Structure 1
Amino acid sequence: MKMEAKHTPGPWRFGEFELYPGAGLRFNISQAESATYTPHYSDVAQTISGEELSIQEANARLIAAAPELLAALQFYANPEVYKPDSVGRTTDLTWVAQEAIAKATT
């Protein structure tokens, strides 16, 4: 039996913050304003480890791009069934993939 994954709906956005002045940057991923809101839970993840700042930021950007990366893979796997244009995106797979990669890496 195939079960649907339960997760915070995308799109997600990348953000950075300081807990208090001088505490150093932390990164968080939360639902974007255009996302279907999950009551009582808009933060998807935030950094808490002691990893190097650049690694934390890269990880956070990759996590924030997860919904778009999943959509690109779903579209690639079955373009006749999964239609990204139903959520306001083009049906051109190259464009969908490029946008997801850009969000994950910049």
Structure 2
Amino acid sequence: METKHTPGPWSYWSGYNPLDKIEAQVTAEDGDIVIASYNHLIAEGEANAKLMAAAPELLGALIESRQVIATALKVGAPDWFDTDDKVAQHATVKKIDAAIARATA
């Protein structure tokens, strides 16, 4: 799948840089900054930055999981899920497809 975002893996760095007053940054493998800072004034700020750093890996795992679920539905319930269109109507698959579409739009 072709993506529009900076390729992963991303990493997370935390600390205070007085020069540019950054609290944290999420960087690509080559060191380019993906996300420059987080809001240190809210308790969730650092956790949010860590979640963002995991985004490419999470997206990849979700895409792979969708394929596994589709196969399991077709094998486990072939009378109900005998086509890709029927698999796409499963409630969990719908949520996965929506999340993937949102992340790759």
Q: Which of the five TM-score ranges fits, normalised by the shorter chain?
A: 0.5 to 0.7
Structure 1 residue 77 and structure 2 residue 66: aligned?
yes
Unpaired runs of 5+ residues, structure 2, are: 69-105
- State the AA in 2 paired with 1:72: A
- What is the identity percentage for the equivalent residue pairs of Structure 1 and Structure 2? 36
TM-score (norm 2): 0.52
TM-score (norm 1): 0.52
RMSD of Structure 2 on Structure 1 (CA): 2.7
- Relative to structure 1, the CA distance from residue 62 to residue 76 in structure 2 (aligned partners, 3 Å threshold; closer, same or farther) is same
Structure 1 residue 29 and structure 2 residue 26: aligned?
yes
Instruction: Give the secondary-structure state (helix, strand or coil) at the position aligned to 2:44.
Output: helix
Which one scores higher on RCO, CA 8 angstroms, separation ≥ 6? 1
Q: How many residues align?
A: 67
The structure carrying a bigger helix percent of its residues is 2
Larger radius of gyration: 2
Unpaired runs of 5+ residues, structure 1, are: 80-106
Structure 1 segments, 4+ long, off by >6 Å, are: none
| Alignment match, 1:91 | none
